[in-house]
Chains A and B, each alone.
Chain A
């Protein structure tokens, strides 16, 4: 399934942001899972891994919502509908790469090696228990957009020290209005930081629609102002997200400069369990995007290529649910740390 690099280059060139107008987003599969872009370079086992993680995310979301309803985690930010963006990015990351995430990239973080038990400990309300540098996963950022500067700073650090690593800032569309986001793109450009800024544009920042964030026609356009590379991609096409992210990381890693990726997707669920989207999100819009569900899209492609079938789906689901339940059990078995231990660590 290999493809000449020129294929990707050419396809990505067409999805660069422009001063006016909206480019056709980079796509490998259409909404029915039919190949419309450059053939993927992924081998069968990697394709399975990609799909399995998306399935993992979907099932984890169900469990997370249930745990919140039962009072076993504080809040849960659903990922439903955004699995392709998260898994495609996760698959493109290499060992040693760092990610500075928001709260809607759980799949990416788990793919990069964060244990689900540690992630659930955070959601139970214990701060970040995993070692950020050892895992390459920095704590989930709650102050919107702040982490963009951290990823750019880390990417500057990698570049200055000649390290072969990339730092990723993962943010949502709301973050692109923050001053720190814009300062980060500017610094990234000036210093050619080894950084990818990955925006999951899910069209909603709690109740504020994308149109209210900016007059810019695309979020990727912001890259033009800072002289860096931007890409508009179909965030519900896992193969497109993987290919674009991989290309961007190679670009940044080799010192050719940072890349801003706008992955178009949709928040099918609520902002968090504390939110009531019925007050603002048009039901027909949700339905329209539900029909663009990233899971059946990739699955159709895999089935057509005899990489996946109903039996595997069934077996994988059972395994995943078992893994999730085990992680929940382990997370809940962690005793409440002593307050003094916290104070000691914090000082």
Chain B
């Protein structure tokens, strides 16, 4: 027996499963209690597990992450919600300079088993500060893992793995897919999806297309649109650590590379992916790699965001371009 569920429901199921099986798991954040989260990711959990397992926190991102870190040292596994990734900036010091660094600073003797779940990305007409994709910021910060699901099952599976992980993990949840990505979920326990394993969503021979989160369905659409190009679309699923083996094997095979992301181009994750894959696969490349990314501007007002965001047309054009070059 299975049940159809959208991504945010799958996340809710995974949180419930973790709370049920592991008494050290606690869920915290703004509005996660009575309300069940602004996106309903924690719907019903406080009612089910009580307010010492699932609790609202004061409106302070640094406070949420800093206290989650402190709690994680006492044997708890906090899953903290930062409502929108644009507000993560306020907690970056506690996340990147504190939680992510405790392992190094104590020679591996102490780690911070905590998860920060955060809704990210554009395309749904949210107001300013609600559409940011800050994976580039975190990727350049050692000590922290980053997972980005593109399917409902992956959202649940990556979250469960993140909760098990001994170190801080940021789960970037694409707002655009919360209610559009659907999967059939098993009635019994959901499976874990290991961190650090990419998934080939469409096998192909001509060009490797790398994407994550909301860009994955977009890249698949582009692959269908540019039907004359046999694209291999890879969903990275985890941005830190990156599954270089899968990526390298694909580029060795196709000789062409397109990277798609919402974050601004300069210093973005695409820069690292291209640089690293050029280092690994230089002699296999048949064309210069291409990035389809957000522009190097502050995220635009929502009525203009469609021009800023990678589109099916832009990704399809990039696939055709690397075939011509």
| Chain A contacts to B: CB under 8 angstroms | 98, 100, 127-129, 131-133, 138-139, 143, 146, 149-158, 160-161, 163, 167, 179-180, 183-184, 186-187, 190, 342, 344-346
Quick check: is B227 within 8 A (CB to CB) of the other chain?
A: no
In B40-88, the 8 Å CB interface with A consists of 52, 57-58, 60, 62-63, 66-76
**For the complex, what is the distance from the CA of A156 to the CA of B109, rounded to whole Å?**
22
* Inter-subunit contact B109/A152 (CB<8 Å): no
Instruction: Give the residue of A131, A179, A342 whose beta carbon is less than 8 angstroms from that of B62.
Output: A179
Quick check: is B184 within 8 A (CB to CB) of the other chain?
A: no
**For the complex, what is the distance from the CA of A138 to the CA of B75, rounded to whole Å?**
15
In B103-129, the 8 Å CB interface with A consists of 103-110
Which residues from B are CB-within-8-Å of A146?
A: 66, 93-94, 97-98
Instruction: Give the residue of A139, A160, A187, A342 whose beta carbon is less than 8 angstroms from that of B52.
Output: A160
* Inter-subunit contact B60/A186 (CB<8 Å): yes
| Chain B contacts to A: CB under 8 angstroms | 26, 52, 57-58, 60, 62-63, 66-76, 93-94, 97-98, 102-110, 142-143
Given known A-B contacts A129-B107, A345-B107, A180 and B62 have beta carbons under 8 A apart: yes
* Inter-subunit contact B68/A153 (CB<8 Å): yes
Q: Name the residue on B nearest A139 (C-beta).
A: B105
Q: Name the residue on A nearest B110 (C-beta).
A: A132
Which residues from A are CB-within-8-Å of B142?
A: 346
* Inter-subunit contact A149/B73 (CB<8 Å): no
* Inter-subunit contact B71/A157 (CB<8 Å): yes
Which residues from A are CB-within-8-Å of B106?
A: 127-128, 131-132, 139
Instruction: Give the residue of A152, A156, A180, A346 whose beta carbon is less than 8 angstroms from that of B108.
Output: A346
* Inter-subunit contact B75/A190 (CB<8 Å): no
Closest CB of chain A to B108's CB: distance in Å? Answer: 4
| From A128, A167, A344, residue with most partner B Cβ within 10 Å | A128
* Inter-subunit contact B67/A153 (CB<8 Å): yes
* Inter-subunit contact A157/B76 (CB<8 Å): yes
Given known A-B contacts A133-B110, A139-B106, A146-B98, A156 and B70 have beta carbons under 8 A apart: yes
Which residues from A are CB-within-8-Å of B63?
A: 149, 180, 183-184, 186-187
Closest CB of chain A to B53's CB: distance in Å? Answer: 9
Which residues from A are CB-within-8-Å of B98?
A: 143, 146, 150
Closest CB of chain A to B314's CB: distance in Å? Answer: 36
| From A98, A183, A344, A345, residue with most partner B Cβ within 10 Å | A183
Known contacts A157-B72, A187-B60; can you find 15 more A-B pairs with CB under 8 A?
A127-B105, A131-B106, A132-B73, A138-B73, A149-B62, A149-B67, A150-B98, A155-B70, A157-B71, A157-B75, A183-B63, A187-B57, A187-B63, A187-B67, A344-B108
Which residues from B are CB-within-8-Å of A129?
A: 107
**For the complex, what is the distance from the CA of A55 to the CA of B287, rounded to whole Å?**
72
Closest CB of chain B to A112's CB: distance in Å? Answer: 16
**For the complex, what is the distance from the CA of A142 to the CA of B5, rounded to whole Å?**
46
Which residues from B are CB-within-8-Å of A132?
A: 73, 106, 109-110
Q: Name the residue on A nearest B61 (C-beta).
A: A183
Given known A-B contacts A157-B76, A158-B74, A160-B52, A128 and B69 have beta carbons under 8 A apart: no
Q: Name the residue on A nearest B67 (C-beta).
A: A153
* Inter-subunit contact A154/B71 (CB<8 Å): yes
Given known A-B contacts A161-B75, A183-B60, A186-B63, A152 and B70 have beta carbons under 8 A apart: yes
Q: Name the residue on A nearest B101 (C-beta).
A: A346
Which residues from A are CB-within-8-Å of B109?
A: 131-133
Closest CB of chain B to A254's CB: distance in Å? Answer: 18
**For the complex, what is the distance from the CA of A152 to the CA of B60, rounded to whole Å?**
14
* Inter-subunit contact B70/A128 (CB<8 Å): no
For the complex of A and B, 4 pairs with smallest distance between CB atoms: A153-B70, A149-B66, A157-B74, A153-B67
Given known A-B contacts A161-B74, A346-B104, A346-B142, A143 and B97 have beta carbons under 8 A apart: yes
* Inter-subunit contact B97/A156 (CB<8 Å): no
* Inter-subunit contact B67/A127 (CB<8 Å): no
**For the complex, what is the distance from the CA of A45 to the CA of B49, rounded to whole Å?**
49
Q: Name the residue on A nearest B143 (C-beta).
A: A346
* Inter-subunit contact A149/B70 (CB<8 Å): yes
Which residues from B are CB-within-8-Å of A345?
A: 103-104, 107-108
| From A157, A161, A184, residue with most partner B Cβ within 10 Å | A157
Closest CB of chain A to B72's CB: distance in Å? Answer: 8
* Inter-subunit contact A143/B67 (CB<8 Å): no
Could you pull out 17 A-B pairs where Cβ atoms are within 8 angstroms?
Answer: A100-B70, A127-B107, A131-B109, A132-B73, A138-B73, A143-B97, A143-B98, A149-B70, A149-B94, A150-B67, A150-B70, A152-B66, A153-B67, A153-B69, A154-B70, A190-B58, A346-B143
Which residues from A are CB-within-8-Å of B67?
A: 149-150, 152-153, 156, 184, 187
Closest CB of chain A to B63's CB: distance in Å? Answer: 4
Which residues from B are CB-within-8-Å of A160?
A: 26, 52, 71, 76
Q: Name the residue on B nearest A345 (C-beta).
A: B108
Closest CB of chain A to B113's CB: distance in Å? Answer: 12
**For the complex, what is the distance from the CA of A127 to the CA of B108, rounded to whole Å?**
11
Q: Name the residue on A nearest B70 (C-beta).
A: A153
**For the complex, what is the distance from the CA of A211 to the CA of B60, rounded to whole Å?**
27
Given known A-B contacts A128-B106, A129-B107, A345-B103, A184 and B66 have beta carbons under 8 A apart: yes
Given known A-B contacts A139-B106, A346-B104, A183 and B70 have beta carbons under 8 A apart: no
| From B52, B63, B103, residue with most partner A Cβ within 10 Å | B63
Which residues from B are CB-within-8-Å of A154?
A: 70-71, 73-74
Which residues from A are CB-within-8-Å of B104?
A: 127, 342, 345-346
